[in-house]
A and B are shown apart, each in its own frame.
Chain A
């Protein structure tokens, strides 16, 4: 493990960035200098100072504290949405690739239909249909990510399926599920890990976009995308800090997962390296 990390310093860098975010989310109550929802209009719209490092918003809330707490929503959405997309997508891909035939044909048309949709419009419509709550945003983002995993898994299954060790397992009478789990799954894990890391980045970005449109976390809960939307009207008065704090946080989080994903891809999946 240590040797693996030493050979791949970019994983260490990306991993540390991600770790930093995770710690920020876990330790938010201790790290944040103020209560992120504490309204004090007598101190509204203050520029950054020693007391409020990134200033205050139009309700006098400490922007830094909101940024720190906001990491919880972003990470939770990122991880849960990807878990949803991953579980559904991988199961469908395994089934589709392994069973084949009519099932595969129908499932793939469904996936094509999902892919034909503009992803963001699909996510917006799903969230709107289910009701604008953070749980629903997670589901919507998860659904949008499903085709990615299905296609990846199915492709790998198809290429592995005819290899000797699988055929051999089949001839000695192993049950289909067992074959899938024991023989096919391990062959796709690397690619999936890379993909999952990268899709957390996408999910965080998508959550920010949905919250930016008012479809994510409900106020006064701090949410990066929501806070950028909330504060953007002050830009025209050149009060930049309220939207720049959370905006930069989104950038950092997405960057961290992208960076880690890229590094993992290079390390784990040499075949993918060229394609990227």
Chain B
């Protein structure tokens, strides 16, 4: 059951990350494999033990984070990020944004063909973006809402006209909203085109077989356009078999026994063990994802009172949570803006030390007697349950009583979206490349993930400005101003920390670096010599 909950609980899973440093290589949009000084070996096949079964291969419909593990192998996006999280050219060789920020013009690569042989060009981009914006059942229409229209300038130039300036747009085109699909393949396959093997992408691998809950086979695209930094044609591997394995223990065992060469999302408790295994490599990076408690701040609920939210935040010992609950996986934190976001403020540590006495004072200032509330957690997930009980014990030191209530994830979501949940709910966010993706929909009045019913006009205005200003330095200041309000002065949530991006590999393969978005870049992976 615990894995089952995790399987659906996309929100509580996973991570996106960046450690901003290093230049991105030009051409091919590729970074090299570390330690592969000479020409990497071509050929070979590997098994990837993935934490869940990908659901939808169509970027249009895909709603699950897990799907991207396949998308990134078979599709290319207009732009991508490098392993530091910086946006780099990909299918678009360059882009131009004028000072008013109302258009984005992309210059496209001309050497790219889809797996089915049709050409990738400006018309193809327009068709794809229009499809994402308008098709029935599109999960991308919200992300692309700021786009007014797409114009084909010439075969290699395409211009996006925006309704209002929208600085996070590029960060969205990194992912599914910017993934390019062959019109021919999509139209031939109809609505279900991605449910069987298909040739709709331009990516380094092609999907050749997919059996639900069993395996997905990806084979090398011999005509792939990408090259590594030494000019070697990509990809190196012939075949990848993705096996969905929902138990972290079983993934780890598969890696140990050589039944898999790559695994993701290893439980924190097992990391010391994995580091000690001689045949394995382990990489980890801080992620964009955050861990948080959502108070119901709507009228009539306990946490309508801001001081109570602050009291709980003050009483929680984040360092102990990280050590004893997360087993040092990730970092402690206080806000939506993660260590590798450009707007991160390392000196912003409002609740660094737990202070039960200060929390008691906040509660008594309200003058309504002791604070008692219900803490909602997903049922059957021992990891979350342990942390919840740890929090319960920490709060007890400040005479705050948290009654844990396990509810099925589906029920918690329902109550949260109806704003009827009592009183504090344990929910995370998988994280986005731009701070806007971590903040706007969670904090801004009336937005879809603003489950705490938070509303602060000043914060709204700051977040709107940050969307419209193309200047990064200005945006940074705006986010930092906003953060002080929604974390400290008038808290929207209680943030506990940030997650980690992980990649565990067998020494039989040369692994690429771990990426901020936690997706393995298999085109850079090769067999060890």
Contacts and interface: CB of A to CB of B under 8 A. Distances in A.
Q: Do chains A and B touch in the complex (CB under 8 A)?
A: yes
A233 B385 contact: no
Nearest to B396: A39
Interface stretch (B130-138, B265-273, B419-427): B265-273
Interface string B376-409: 0001111101101110110000000001111110
Contact of B406 (A132, A233, A237): A132
A231 B407 CA distance: 19
A212 B4 CA distance: 13
Contacts, number: 71
A168 interface: no
Interface stretch (A10-18, A46-54, A111-119, A214-222): A214-222
Given A41-B320, A58-B386, A219-B406, A214 B380 contact: yes
A237 B320 CA distance: 21
A39 B379 CA distance: 20
Contacts of A39: 389-390, 392-393
A114 B137 CA distance: 38
Interface in A206-256: 212-215, 218-220, 229-237
A214 B1 contact: yes
Given A213-B380, A214-B1, A219-B406, A233 B267 contact: yes
Nearest to B1: A213
B320 A231 contact: no
Contact of A218 (B386, B393, B406): B406
B2 A229 contact: yes
B1 A233 contact: no
Nearest to B272: A237
A237 to B, nearest CB: 6
Which among B388, B390, B404, B406 has the highest number of chain A CB atoms within 10 Å?
B406
Contact of B385 (A230, A236, A237): A230
Given A132-B379, A213-B1, A230-B385, A219 B404 contact: yes
B249 interface: yes
Given A233-B269, A234-B269, A218 B405 contact: yes
Contacts of B389: 39, 59, 219-220
A41 B390 CA distance: 8
Nearest to A60: B324
A237 B269 contact: yes
A229 B383 CA distance: 11
Nearest to B381: A214
Interface size range of chain B in the complex: 20 to 34
Interface string A37-48: 001010010000
A214 B269 contact: no
A132 B1 contact: no
Interface in A1-58: 39, 41, 44, 58
A213 B407 CA distance: 11
Nearest to B377: A219
Contacts of B2: 214, 229, 233
A247 to B, nearest CB: 15
A231 B324 contact: no
Nearest to A220: B389
A177 interface: no
Nearest to B327: A58
Interface in A91-140: 128, 131-132
A236 B271 CA distance: 12
A219 B388 contact: yes
A41 B388 CA distance: 13
Interface in B346-388: 379-383, 385-386, 388
Interface size range of chain A in the complex: 20 to 34
B252 interface: yes
Contacts of A44: 324
A215 B270 CA distance: 27
Interface in B249-278: 249, 252-253, 267, 269-270, 273
Contact of A236 (B270, B324, B380, B403): B270
Contacts of B249: 233, 235-236
A212 B386 CA distance: 15
Contacts of A230: 382, 385-386
A215 B379 contact: yes
Contact of B390 (A59, A128, A218, A232): A59
Contacts of A231: 382
B442 to A, nearest CB: 27
Nearest to B250: A236
Which among A212, A215, A219, A229 has the highest number of chain B CB atoms within 10 Å?
A219
B1 A212 contact: yes
Interface in B187-226: none
A273 B55 CA distance: 53
A216 to B, nearest CB: 9
Contacts of B406: 132, 214, 218-219
Contacts of A212: 1
Contacts of A213: 1, 379-380
A180 B267 CA distance: 61
B413 to A, nearest CB: 14
A230 B380 CA distance: 8
A74 B378 CA distance: 23
Contacts of A235: 249
A149 to B, nearest CB: 30
A237 B324 contact: no
B364 to A, nearest CB: 24
A230 B379 CA distance: 11
Given A39-B389, A218-B404, A220-B404, A237 B273 contact: yes
A98 to B, nearest CB: 42
Contacts of B248: 233
Nearest to A38: B393
Interface in B499-526: none
Contacts of A58: 324, 386
A58 B387 CA distance: 10
Given A39-B390, A128-B408, A132-B406, A237 B382 contact: no
Which 8 pairs, one residue from A and one from B, show the smallest C-beta to C-beta distance? A214-B380, A214-B379, A39-B393, A236-B249, A41-B324, A213-B1, A230-B382, A219-B404
Given A218-B404, A220-B392, A233-B269, 19 more contacts: A39-B393, A58-B324, A59-B389, A59-B390, A59-B393, A128-B408, A213-B380, A214-B380, A214-B408, A215-B379, A218-B405, A220-B404, A230-B385, A233-B2, A233-B267, A233-B382, A234-B269, A236-B253, A237-B269
Interface of A: 39, 41, 44, 58-59, 128, 131-132, 212-215, 218-220, 229-237
21 contacts: A39-B390, A39-B393, A41-B320, A41-B390, A58-B386, A59-B386, A59-B390, A128-B408, A132-B406, A132-B408, A212-B1, A214-B381, A214-B408, A215-B380, A218-B404, A218-B406, A219-B388, A230-B382, A230-B386, A233-B267, A233-B269
